[in-house]
Amino acid sequence: MNITFCVVRSAERLDRYLADQLAVSRTQAGRLIADKRVTARGKPLRASAVLERGVEVTVELPDEAAPRTYAPAHAELRFVYEDEDLAVLDKPAGLVVHPGPGHWDDSLVNVLIGRGTALSSGSTEGRPGIVHRLDRDTSGLLVVAKSDLAHRRLAGAIERREVTRVYAAIVWGHLRKSPVDIEAPIARHPKERKRMTVAQGGRHAVTHASVVARFAHTDLLRIRLGTGRTHQIRVHLAHVGCPIVGDREYTFGGSRRVTPSARMEAERLEALAPRQLLHAAALSFVHPVTNVP
């Protein structure tokens, strides 16, 4: 199976870009490159190649790595808005956005196909209609493109930061300052390749957070993305000492951060949170075809 990516950020090494796009280690990405399975304009690329914006990179995956077609799936979805060019839906927690290892047949893309929703061809094979993503256990608003024109323009608007994405989160502890701009580079974890971490040399990342309400041991936050890195909100909040309640990957202590006298209440709250309490609450953009805000 071939997967094609359209590069939207320039000046990035191929091996790092590929590892990020495929959610694999740089060693695995390097193996694909060494086997001459990664090409651009029909020519094999080197791991050190610096990608230019707009270049299409094609990756030939081994036959066993992915199915050739995606089966339709069925699940209940709530649509907030829909027309012939795009749809905005309220993604439930627990649903992966696009097909991938372990989720070839039960992703949001599969559900949309099962519903009969027309989807754009996408900038990446295997991700029709997908313009941006939400983590599997993050709920909330997601826009999908139904036409190729809408897809191109929405992707461009996101790259130019013309799409506003606002989240709500309940976090452990209290922000020391509100509002606060969390600016810290994010990179893939050197040992746990499915996780991200704050690290020097990582990609520039900015998260804007403010307190909506304070409780005994938690804060309700309003969060706006300045950039859109993988796991950005979760990583940044954990980095400043306020991990999201229910986040099993980026807890950095979780309920253990509270005083012993409040431990029982904290553990009860965690038991009621089967996933991270992060919700994409608002999404605003100019319609890519009609130009209506």
> How far is Cα 279 from Cα 142, in angstroms, rounded to an integer?
11
Characterize the bridge pairing of strands 56-60 and 50-51: unpaired
Q: Which amino acid is at 75?
A: A
Three-class DSSP category at 120? coil
Q: Residue 261 to residues 71, 220, 252, 257: CA-CA distances in angstroms? A: 51, 22, 20, 12
**Nearest alpha carbon to residue 237 among 283, 278, 289:** 278
Task: Classify strands 139-145 and 278-284 as parallel, antiparallel or unpaired.
Answer: parallel
Alpha carbon distance 40, 58 (integer Å): 6
Q: How many CA atoms lie within 13 A of 96 on its CB side?
A: 13
Rounded (5°) CA angle 163-168-172 = 135
For 39, the 3-state DSSP assignment is strand
Please identify every residue annotated as catalytic. Answer: 135
